[in-house]
Chain A
């Protein structure tokens, strides 16, 4: 079960959307993107593939199919098994995240291990992070609901952790240069 929870994060997010009311793929994507404004928007292909997988696993079912001039639209509804799976996913904790695999860490550590001066990279990265954070802080000030603010808070908190790590990395890199000089 834990394995399924890990693999099906997007699927469970879609189940959470469908639990409120049945919807077709286009609406599911739109609701997802509104609900997670700082996440990468879902691709339609990704949504339809996830819905097909959920249907195959019996977690959603086709409630209605209709076609009015345009392409055929299939409305999906969550099944009792889907609700149960959603509850299990919501109750399971996530791992804290393998930061060592993060691109930022890979670049900085590689740079330092090569003996390169990472200061310029760290400064540029801080400017980039701060610019993104500025956009998010502005978006949060205009957030239409506490739920959206909370979703943005999560990204801001991670950026803040990265920024604090960048500051520490810059200090350690400077101390390392002084020691080697």
Chain B
């Protein structure tokens, strides 16, 4: 069976018939995606096809105008803002193209942030942060601020931050898009290794075929919808 033909059975996260507009632009017009526990899924498609919007809707960052997002049997729409925030901090890890670290904080503080916001013990939070930085070969950056880091270094710190709370689903929006080939490969490999080691699901938005080829399954979007498979 091909990469694209398998459907995600026993979905941990399921987004169905999602519609989302920004002003007069219809970003999503009924797109769907699902990911099973431990599955690695790539969302691909041309620029403007709605890949990032679908990822952000599935991650509970954006609220769709219509459609259903279910995580572990729970409808996200039934959750209040505080509960959604808690879910994003505890169960979801989000990696964006440019890291989006807090510029005033050191790498260790950035990585510890989700745990500190969740009222974890300070010493334990920093110990976990340093452990993840070490895992990502970024321990020497612990006291550096984002302005002092290269693109690849920032991205590894951002991944450490996304993983520190032990997420069950990792969302990565063009995680290698701002990196050169070798650094991009390294960052991708870390994401894949961690997802496999921890049995986390990984949702990758990408326009890079090499990244798409690393996934178990590909979901192709076109004009805000899932691409229709044509059979002859």
Binding site for B on A (CB under 8 A): 117, 119-121, 123, 126-127, 129-131, 133-134, 136-137, 141, 156, 159-160, 163-164, 167, 171
Contact B213 A130 (CB under 8 A): yes
Which residues of the other chain, B, contact A117 by a CB distance below 8 angstroms? 230, 232
List CB contacts (< 8 Å) of B1-49 with chain A: 2-5, 46
Contact A167 B3 (CB under 8 A): no
Nearest residue (CB) in A for B5 is A127
Contact B218 A130 (CB under 8 A): yes
Nearest residue (CB) in B for A156 is B210
B193 to chain A, nearest CB (A): 9
Which residues of the other chain, A, contact B212 by a CB distance below 8 angstroms? 130
Contact B210 A137 (CB under 8 A): yes
List CB contacts (< 8 Å) of B174-219 with chain A: 189, 209-210, 212-214, 218
Binding site for A on B (CB under 8 A): 2-5, 46, 189, 209-210, 212-214, 218, 227, 229-232
Q: Which of B2, B213, B218, B231 has the most CB of A within 10 A?
A: B213
Given A120-B230, A136-B213, A137-B210, 4 other A-B residues pairs in contact with their CB atoms under 8 A: A127-B5, A130-B213, A133-B209, A163-B209
B220 to chain A, nearest CB (A): 8
Contact A119 B2 (CB under 8 A): no
Nearest residue (CB) in A for B216 is A134
A-B contacts, CB under 8 A, total:
44
A96 to chain B, nearest CB (A): 20
Q: Please, how many angstroms separate the alpha-carbon atoms of A137 and B218 in the complex?
A: 15
Q: Please, how many angstroms separate the alpha-carbon atoms of A136 and B3 in the complex?
A: 15
9 inter-chain pairs at a CB distance below 8 angstroms, sorted by A residue, are: A120-B232, A121-B232, A127-B2, A127-B5, A130-B3, A130-B209, A130-B218, A133-B213, A134-B213
Contact A123 B210 (CB under 8 A): no
Which residues of the other chain, B, contact A159 by a CB distance below 8 angstroms? 209
Nearest residue (CB) in A for B214 is A137
Which residues of the other chain, B, contact A130 by a CB distance below 8 angstroms? 3-4, 209, 212-213, 218
Q: Please, how many angstroms separate the alpha-carbon atoms of A81 and B83 in the complex?
A: 76
Nearest residue (CB) in B for A117 is B230
Contact A123 B209 (CB under 8 A): no
Q: A117-B230, A141-B189 are in contact. Are A134 and B214 (CB under 8 A)?
A: yes
Which residues of the other chain, A, contact B46 by a CB distance below 8 angstroms? 167, 171
Which residues of the other chain, B, contact A120 by a CB distance below 8 angstroms? 230-232
Contact A127 B230 (CB under 8 A): no
Which residues of the other chain, B, contact A129 by a CB distance below 8 angstroms? 209
Which residues of the other chain, A, contact B189 by a CB distance below 8 angstroms? 141
Which residues of the other chain, A, contact B3 by a CB distance below 8 angstroms? 127, 130-131, 134
Nearest residue (CB) in B for A138 is B214
Which residues of the other chain, A, contact B209 by a CB distance below 8 angstroms? 129-130, 133, 159-160, 163-164
Q: Please, how many angstroms separate the alpha-carbon atoms of A171 and B227 in the complex?
A: 12
Contact B210 A133 (CB under 8 A): yes
Q: Please, how many angstroms separate the alpha-carbon atoms of A131 and B227 in the complex?
A: 18
Q: Please, how many angstroms separate the alpha-carbon atoms of A130 and B227 in the complex?
A: 16
Q: Please, how many angstroms separate the alpha-carbon atoms of A137 and B189 in the complex?
A: 10
Which residues of the other chain, A, contact B214 by a CB distance below 8 angstroms? 134, 137
Nearest residue (CB) in B for A174 is B222
Q: Please, how many angstroms separate the alpha-carbon atoms of A103 and B49 in the complex?
A: 30
Which residues of the other chain, A, contact B229 by a CB distance below 8 angstroms? 123
Q: Please, how many angstroms separate the alpha-carbon atoms of A127 and B214 in the complex?
A: 13
Q: Which of B46, B209, B232 has the most CB of A within 10 A?
A: B209
Nearest residue (CB) in A for B230 is A120
